Copies of this chain bind each other. A is one copy, B any other.
Amino acid sequence: MVAAASELLRAKGFDAVSVAEVANAVGLTHGGFYNHFASKDDLAAQALADAWASMSAHRSRAGKLPQLLAAYLSPKARDAPGKGCPAAALAGDVRRQPHPVRHAFATGLEEMINSLEGQLAGDPATRRTRAVALATRMIGALLLSRSVPDDEPLARELLSANLEMALSDMDA
């Protein structure tokens, strides 16, 4: 149920997913929901943590940084928000969520930054700063690309321009 919610929330956002919808997704009716979770917010916090966990697992399978960036900033990733990065899917919503949800978000984001930092070469003194900036670029590009209508060239350009810049930054 947490896994189903995690995908639905990323695909549609917190408010657009109902308790009944999540329950139905695992073959239940809405009434039994409260045998498992204290509230919808409780589920949201758990689902967000779960999404970050599966994102982290995916990251360790993705190989080296250039391959990870190319996969992250791809049209395929753009078109599958439900299975993709929780930050790109929910960063805009999370500002209006209760504290446990925001905290789960921040924890996952911090882990993502740490993971990127570990894959960066170059001057160790600037690694953390570059990792924060790289995470921002990845998440921002995917999120903005999704916010623009699919048929506008800008949607592709946001991915390609940021991929190019991210790859060239990496060497510096």
Contacts and interface: CB of A to CB of B under 8 A. Distances in A.
Q: Is the interface of A mostly helix, strand, loop or mixed?
A: helix
Contact of A137 (B81, B133, B146): B133
B130 A165 contact: yes
Contact of A106 (B132, B133, B154): B154
Interface stretch (A8-16, A29-37, A39-47, A55-63): A8-16
Given A12-B96, A137-B137, A154-B109, A91 B162 contact: no
Interface in A88-113: 90-96, 99, 102-103, 105-106, 109-110, 113
A170 interface: no
A149 interface: yes
A143 interface: yes
A148 interface: yes
Interface string A105-140: 110011001000000000000001110110111011
Interface in A136-172: 136-137, 139-141, 143-144, 146-149, 152, 154, 157-158, 161-162, 164-165
